[in-house]
Amino acid sequence: MQTIKIEIEDHIYKKVVDSGVNLQERFKEMIYDFLDDGYPAITTEEAKRRIAKAVKSYKDKSMKTVLHKDMWNDIESDCKVTI
């Protein structure tokens, strides 16, 4: 396990200590949230297998492709904000 060191002004440190916040635990949660992209981790071998499968399906023309303009239309449609 490694240690991360930060430097903050004394008055900020005092406010954190006085607040009773467990700074170490909160910082650890923040780091884990920062690193979590929402997708489950896969091994390098699994990544290579998926890439090989995608390349094969592209080469043998079994991959379903989408026209460029249709892709952007879908993205724009998904990004519309409804009020």
Per-position DSSP letters for the chain, written without gaps between them: ---------HHHHHHHHHHT--HHHHHHHHHHHHH--SS----HHHHHHHHHHHHHHHHTT-S----HHHHHHHHHHHH----
pLDDT of res. 83 = 63
What per-residue confidence (pLDDT) applies to 29?
86
pTM of the predicted protein model: 0.43
* pLDDT confidence tier of residue 54, bands split at 50, 70 and 90: very high
Average pLDDT over the chain reads 89
Residue 69 has pLDDT above 90, yes or no: yes
